[in-house]
Amino acid sequence: MAQMGLISRQIKSHKYRRCEKFHKVYGNILDRQFAPTAPNQVWTGDVTYIRIKGGWCYLAIIMDLYARRIVGFALSDSPNTQLTTSALKMAYHIRLEPKGVLFHSDQGSHYTSEEYAKCVAKCNGMSHSMSRRGNCWDNAPTERFFRSFKTEWMPKNGYDNIDEAQQAVNDYIWGYYQSVRPHSFNEYLTPSEKERLYFNKNLLSTV
């Protein structure tokens, strides 16, 4: 690797604080069925850490699995329920309050809390699915997004502060990931292009 000028970009592990309170866990309804046939059928969510000087900040996202499009996200200095509910509320608003979405996440306390359950209940007909404990492959597409952001966009040593991190996340999602970066799952279309084709096809079929 040294002779070829290659540099390893392994992502270091990060431990989240554990919560001692009782939380409700849901079954794995999604069961790794990662290819829905239309937008707003299945959303997934997860939280990752982002290094900043003096510590960490945390990014929560909501992904629509149909085209791997990010439909909601939030950044905070704490990986708590307020962070994850903010991302879900953004997605629900942006997608015009769709009915009957299956939402899938891991078993982190920020998803199993009573507050988050209430937020899900306010979304019309939304049901909650969860990965098996400690099994990241049950939410692989969302994990893949985080890896792409950290290897393609984030500097090796992170950002100076949370404001700089927020701007970088905005630039990556809105300026690159959604409309520029091709995705192999989408047959190398961007998330925006795949969704546009879907809605154009369905619009023509109703004419």
Over the range 176-186, which residues count as b (16 or more CB within 10 Å of their CB) and which as e?
ebbeeeebebb
Strand order from edge to edge, sheet including 127-130: 69-76, 55-64, 42-52, 102-105, 127-130
pLDDT attached to residue 9: 57
In a domain, 11, yes or no: no
pLDDT attached to residue 176: 98
CATH number at residue 136: 3.30.420.10
In a domain, 72, yes or no: yes
In a domain, 108, yes or no: yes
Q: Where are the beta strands (DSSP E) in 13-161?
A: 42-52, 55-64, 69-76, 102-105, 127-130
pLDDT attached to residue 20: 44
198 in Cβ contact with 66 (< 8 Å) = yes
In a domain, 130, yes or no: yes
Q: Which of 194, 136, 178, 172 is nearest to 50 (CA)?
A: 172
Note the pLDDT tens digit of each residue in 62-89: 999 999 999 999 999 999 999 999 999 9
**How many residues appear in the chain?**
207
Regions in the chain scoring below 70 on pLDDT = 1-2, 4-22, 204-207
In a domain, 195, yes or no: yes
Report the Cα 165 to chain-centroid distance in Å. 16
pLDDT attached to residue 12: 52
In a domain, 163, yes or no: yes
In a domain, 187, yes or no: yes
99 lies in which domain range?
42-202
In a domain, 31, yes or no: no
How many structural domains comprise the chain? Answer: 1
Question: Long-range contacts made by residues 120-123, C-beta under 8 angstroms, separation at least 24?
Answer: 120/88, 123/88, 123/92, 123/97
pLDDT attached to residue 62: 98
Q: How many CB atoms lie within 10 A of CB 49?
A: 20
Give residue for tokens 């292009």: 193
pLDDT attached to residue 17: 52
Give residue for tokens 């959604």: 178
